[in-house]
Structure 1
């Protein structure tokens, strides 16, 4: 694909970030800028993405908390069951 030379003014931190991303991905700054523009054109919005990530994280925490509560209840029932078995073996039902 043909490219058009374009002059863009970046803040130092922006340029540094693009250079780091390019190094990580084995590309160059121009490719990173084009990729960012493509994402922007596709409607990828960082705030929307962060909101979705936040929602998913909170949902995952709620699900994990519910799973932990279920496991804790099961462990309590299992301990009570095994205590009752031990009591029966000892000849003194609880």
Structure 2
């Protein structure tokens, strides 16, 4: 996915779900910087999987990656589901979004 504000135009960042080969479960996501080639990855943790992750631009955002990654996860170890919201600029540390 990309920031929808850039749909149909050149963009720098793309976010994609990741998974283990042979399994139909998403175990995290990766951000690709198409300008520098850098990639940052976040994994949800053992026994945790998620549905498709969406990008939502922050209100008043200035940059293409200034927003949130939002997903629903299932934690099989804790027997719970959660809505997780991440700061798209802090993918590698898995930083949760701050209000």
TM-score band, normalised by the shorter chain?
under 0.3
Higher RCO, Cα 8 Å, sep 6+? 2
Greater helix content = 1
Which structure is larger by alpha-carbon Rg, 1 or 2? 1
| TM-score, with structure 1 as normaliser | 0.18
